Amino acid sequence: MMGALGIIVAILVVGCAVLAAMGFKGRISVVGVDLGTTYSVIGINNGGTVEIVPDKEGHVLVPSTVAFLPEGRVAVGRAARRYLEHDPTHTIYNAKRFIGRAAADPSLVKELAEHDFELVERPGNASEGWFRLDEARGHGAAVAPEGVGARVLLHLKAMVADHLGYDQVDKAVIAVPAKFDARQRQMTAEAYRQAGLRVMRVLEEPTAAALAYGLHRKPDVHHILVYDFGGGTLDVSVLFVNEGSVEVEASEGDDHLGGSDFDQCLAHHLVARLGPDLVDAGTFRRVEACGGAMAEAHLCTQHLLYPLSEELKRRLSDQLYSDVRCMVQRPGASSMRGGEADVCAPANWVETQLTVTRDEFEHACSDLFERAMIPVDLVLEEVGLTARGVDEVVMVGGTTRIPRVRARLKEHLGVESLNTHIDPDITVAYGAATVID
Tell whether 3 is covered by a domain: no
At 199-255, the pLDDT tens digits run: 999 999 999 999 999 998 888 899 999 999 988 789 999 999 988 888 899 999 998
Do 178 and 236 lie in one domain? The reply is no
* Type of residue at 69: L
At 414-427, the pLDDT tens digits run: 999 999 999 999 99
Tell whether 394 is covered by a domain: yes
Do 243 and 392 lie in one domain? The reply is yes
Do 150 and 67 lie in one domain? The reply is yes
CATH code of 124's domain = 3.30.420.40
At 362-374, the pLDDT tens digits run: 999 999 999 999 9
Stretch 298-307: mean pLDDT, rounded?
Answer: 88
pTM score, whole prediction: 0.78
Tell whether 10 is covered by a domain: no
pLDDT > 70? residue 341: no
What is the C-alpha separation between 263 and 94, in angstroms, rounded? 13
Helix (H) or strand (E) holding 285: helix 281-288
pLDDT for 340: 56
Q: Say if CB 412 and CB 374 are below 8 A apart.
A: no
Do 116 and 225 lie in one domain? The reply is no
pLDDT for 23: 42
pLDDT > 50? residue 24: no
Do 411 and 305 lie in one domain? The reply is yes
- Closest by CA to 32, choosing from 246, 278, 199, is 199
Do 148 and 257 lie in one domain? The reply is no
Tell whether 19 is covered by a domain: no
pLDDT for 134: 94
**Residue 435 dihedral angles phi and psi, to the nearest 5°:** -90, 0
Least confident of 5-19, 133-147, 174-188, 408-422: 5-19
Give the bridge partners for 392, in sequence order. 224
Last residue of a domain, one of 138, 166, 196: 196
Rg value, the chain, Cα: 25
Tell whether 209 is covered by a domain: no
Tell whether 434 is covered by a domain: no
What is the C-alpha separation between 239 and 141, in angstroms, rounded? 43
pLDDT > 90? residue 375: yes
Tell whether 208 is covered by a domain: no
Stretch 333-354: mean pLDDT, rounded?
Answer: 74
Residues 308, 65, 103: CA angle, nearest 5 degrees: 110
For the chain, the 3-state helix, strand and coil shares in percent, each to the nearest 5, are 45, 25, 35
pLDDT for 339: 46
Residues 395, 399, 404: CA angle, nearest 5 degrees: 85
What is the C-alpha separation between 336 and 345, in angstroms, rounded? 10
Do 149 and 247 lie in one domain? The reply is no
What is the C-alpha separation between 137 and 132, in angstroms, rounded? 12
- Closest by CA to 79, choosing from 190, 159, 9, is 159
Greatest alpha-carbon span in the chain: 99
Helix (H) or strand (E) holding 174: strand 171-176
Cα–chain center distance at 344: 37
Do 324 and 373 lie in one domain? The reply is yes
Do 151 and 249 lie in one domain? The reply is no
pLDDT for 306: 86
CB atoms within 10 A of CB 197: 23
Q: What is the tally of structural domains in the chain?
A: 2
Least confident of 109-113, 128-132, 339-343: 339-343
Provide the mean pLDDT of the chain: 89
pLDDT > 60? residue 12: no
> What sign results for the dihedral spanned by CA atoms 268, 272, 273, 275?
positive
Do 44 and 173 lie in one domain? The reply is yes
* pLDDT > 90: percent of the chain: 67
20 falls in which pLDDT band (50, 70, 90)? Answer: very low
pLDDT for 95: 93
Q: Note down the domain range covering 298.
A: 217-420
Do 359 and 278 lie in one domain? The reply is yes
Helix (H) or strand (E) holding 328: strand 321-329
Q: Say if CB 70 and CB 137 are below 8 A apart.
A: yes
Do 180 and 224 lie in one domain? The reply is no
pLDDT > 50? residue 116: yes
pLDDT for 7: 56
Tell whether 22 is covered by a domain: no
Stretch 305-328: mean pLDDT, rounded?
Answer: 94
Beta strand pairing call for 142-143 and 171-176 = unpaired
Q: Say if CB 205 and CB 228 are below 8 A apart.
A: yes
